[in-house]
Chains A and B, each alone.
Chain A
Amino acid sequence: MKIVVAYKWAADPQEATVAADGQVDFSRAKSAVSDYDAVAITVARHLGDTHGADVVGLTVGGPEVATGLATKAALSRGLDALMVVADPALTAAGSTGTAQALATALAGVDDIAVLITGDSSVDVGAKLVPAVVGGLLGWPVLTEVTAVAIEPGALVVERAVSGGTEQLRIDGPAVLAVATDAATVKAPGMKDVLAAAKKPVQQLPADPVVADGTLRSTARLSGPARRGIQISTDDPAAAAAELVSALRADGVLIGGQQ
């Protein structure tokens, strides 16, 4: 029995810069295992330990996803093995192309109990890939998953819904996108990195990548217009009072204490 975790080697948004005109520049941002996917790996690891199952990572992307740095970063988070589809054509793949590549790779793996993914990628955040993979495989898809247990031939899943949680029982494999707070992620230690260097990494060939049609940006990114409130900081006390009243006027601050 295998638990597969799909993760993205994604540019870290904390290192992206936002220009004055609102353009986001990721070109100087370094990549890492996408934050929410680290949650997915942690959930999968617990599940694997509980049920004695192998936890296998799967990622698709450009050549950089197959570097030692990238594979060790993923493996050191507790995966037993890794499957990697690295191809230059996947660098700019959209949700459809990425999901297609993931589904193709999964089709060659036997005995999968469940595919676990993160809530969304930190760099794009479209929340689409798990659903498209599920659609391509013909598996049910659940999002906002907070807990999973495996029973013979079935999964017992807890997920957050508005107003509470629900528990569901699914026969056969499924795609589960875990909630961002489904597990607490621990930073890998030296022994984890050491162990990661000895774990198997399987490189799979990439099928021709499915293009997501031609997407072209036709208007510049625009956000809500700034109203041009300016507060002079010459007198810090007065500036603080002015800031508070501006925030109050916008409904950001509520409650007593005028």
Chain B
Amino acid sequence: MSAEPDFDVIVVGAGVAGCITAYQLAGRGLSVALIDRGETPGAKNLSGGVLYTHPLQQVFPDFLQTAPIERRISRNQICFLNQDSSVAIDYRDARLDRDGTAVSVLRGRLDPWLAERCEDAGVLVMPGVRVDSLLIEDGRVVGVVAGEDELRARVTVAADGVNSFLARDAGLRPAPQPHQLAVGVKAVVQLPSDIIEARFGVDALEGAAIAVVGDCTRGVGGGGFIYTNQGSISVGVVLRLDDLTAKGLRSTEVFDGFLDHPYTERLLRGGELLEYGCHLVAEGGQAMVGELVHHGLVIVGDAAGMTINTGLTVRGMDLAAGAAIAAAVGVAEAIETGDVTAAGLAGYPKALAAGFVGQDLQTYARAPKFLENPRMYESYGPLLADALHQVFGLDGSARKPLRRVAMDALKGSGIGVGTIVKDAWQGARAL
């Protein structure tokens, strides 16, 4: 006979997934505790990034007006970076600004805001508490253990991030494979707002995000990113762990090389380094999302491996929010019916599969495999630059027709036409 639970629901981890799950469940009249190891929620969070806001707007209709967002990202660039050249696609759209489709956020600011909304909704927020393990009785998760204390709940929500020791230590999730993980190294560099706006060609409150491929990772699978906050620039690289190890490089030297590259240096010049750190990033896509429910337990967000990297867009926070919305549905149903077994909680994976998270994970299921293709990081950047150099690099030699230019550049790159067609086809299918 188990003791009476202290709460209907205990959520571990006050990030995007945890806060939104807690917020929605409290809104349904359940008693909810939200535990985070940071002294203030978000204190341990290095992230920040580009947040696709639609699920946040669904939960908080006033999100764009009241949340601590940095800038509305209205300009996206994809840049192939080579040692001495770069080729970029530049996409700017007033619709992105108008709709607030994507915003840059710093989690050190966003997470406390989310936790405050939880508090207002009646959630008992417990910062500064490190949960040591799940409390398991007869194979059922019945709460959590922290230090000498046990807290019991009908349902526990693991929202403890990419490492999710809770679910893993309980034997409920396998450890992620090296090719499913990347290491992210990031710095936040302070610059005056007007300089940021001038360098990135954006208006006040508007921002730019640049996805960089190629020399920024020294050919390691992954990419670089640069995006604008209000008074700072976030810059970093994401490096696939297996490839990094295979190439014998250290993440910090790759990152330093990216910071020193003239392309990056020009954007950051004169800035003051505010933060520097690294973190694991889940890159496995759908293949990494494991079992989401167990008796008395649901897993959400990064803890469940919910990330999508298409090479163009890197998504985690919006999926975490989407999963939280689905989890709240499933958990509330289970508690209402009194059946918190895996079967009783099945409303969560069902709602997830029916929503945009499940659909997008399905759509991009092939993306991780496609992005393991080394030509993405080594060959296509120089190929594009060589072709364009034939066009713009007028030096008195006779010009060739464009199709010849393309063919010559292709020959010089050592990639066969067949390979390009194949990569293009796979890219089209994966993305």
Contact = CB atoms under 8 A, between A and B. Distances in A.
Interface of A: 12, 17, 19-20, 28, 30, 32, 67-69, 72-73, 187-191, 193-194, 197
B125 A189 contact: no
B137 interface: no
A124 B235 CA distance: 34
Contacts of A67: 116, 119
Contacts of A190: 33, 35, 126, 129, 144, 146-147, 149, 151
Contact of A30 (B40, B149, B272): B40
A32 B112 CA distance: 14
B43 interface: yes
A67 B147 CA distance: 26
A73 B35 CA distance: 13
B124 A197 contact: yes
B27 interface: no
Contact of B124 (A20, A187, A189, A194): A194
A69 B129 contact: no
A68 B129 contact: no
20 contacts: A12-B39, A17-B274, A30-B40, A30-B43, A32-B39, A67-B116, A68-B119, A68-B125, A69-B115, A69-B119, A73-B127, A187-B128, A188-B128, A189-B149, A190-B33, A190-B126, A190-B144, A193-B129, A194-B126, A197-B124
**Interchain residue pairs A-B with the least CB separation, the first 4:** A190-B149, A193-B126, A189-B149, A191-B149
Given A32-B39, A189-B147, A69 B125 contact: yes
Contacts of B144: 190
B196 to A, nearest CB: 17
Highest count of chain B CB atoms <10 Å: which of A28, A30, A190:
A190
Contacts of A194: 6, 33, 124, 126, 151
A191 to B, nearest CB: 5
A186 to B, nearest CB: 10
A190 B11 CA distance: 13
A72 B115 CA distance: 14
A228 to B, nearest CB: 21
B84 interface: no
Contact of A69 (B127, B148, B274): B127
Interface in B106-137: 108, 112, 115-116, 119, 124-129
Nearest to A30: B40
A134 B109 CA distance: 39
A69 B40 contact: yes
Highest count of chain B CB atoms <10 Å: which of A67, A68, A193:
A193
Nearest to A33: B39
B39 A189 contact: no
Q: Is the interface of B mostly helix, strand, loop or mixed?
A: mixed
Contacts of B129: 188-190, 193
Contacts of B115: 69
A30 B113 CA distance: 13
B256 to A, nearest CB: 15
A3 to B, nearest CB: 24
Contacts of A69: 40, 115-116, 119, 125, 127
Nearest to B38: A30
Contacts of A32: 39-40
Contacts of A72: 125
Nearest to A193: B126
Given A69-B115, A69-B119, 14 more contacts: A32-B39, A67-B119, A72-B125, A188-B129, A189-B147, A190-B35, A190-B146, A190-B149, A191-B151, A193-B124, A193-B128, A194-B33, A194-B151, A197-B124
A190 to B, nearest CB: 4
Contacts of B124: 193-194, 197
A189 B148 contact: yes
B370 to A, nearest CB: 39
A67 B112 CA distance: 12
A73 B128 contact: yes
Highest count of chain A CB atoms <10 Å: which of B33, B112, B115, B149:
B149
Interface string B266-277: 000000101000
A189 B146 contact: yes
B62 to A, nearest CB: 19
A17 B127 CA distance: 23
Contacts of A197: 124
Contacts of B108: 28
Contacts of A17: 274
Contacts of B116: 67, 69
Nearest to B108: A28
A193 B108 CA distance: 22
Nearest to B115: A69
A68 B118 CA distance: 11
Highest count of chain A CB atoms <10 Å: which of B6, B112, B128, B148:
B128
Contacts of B35: 190
A241 to B, nearest CB: 26
Interface in B1-41: 6, 33, 35, 39-40
A72 B127 CA distance: 10
A12 B127 CA distance: 15
B234 to A, nearest CB: 14
A45 B402 CA distance: 82
A190 B7 CA distance: 12
A73 B129 CA distance: 11
Nearest to A191: B149
A78 to B, nearest CB: 14
A173 B6 CA distance: 41
B47 to A, nearest CB: 16
A212 B211 CA distance: 52
B39 A30 contact: yes
Contacts of A187: 128
B109 to A, nearest CB: 9
A129 B144 CA distance: 42
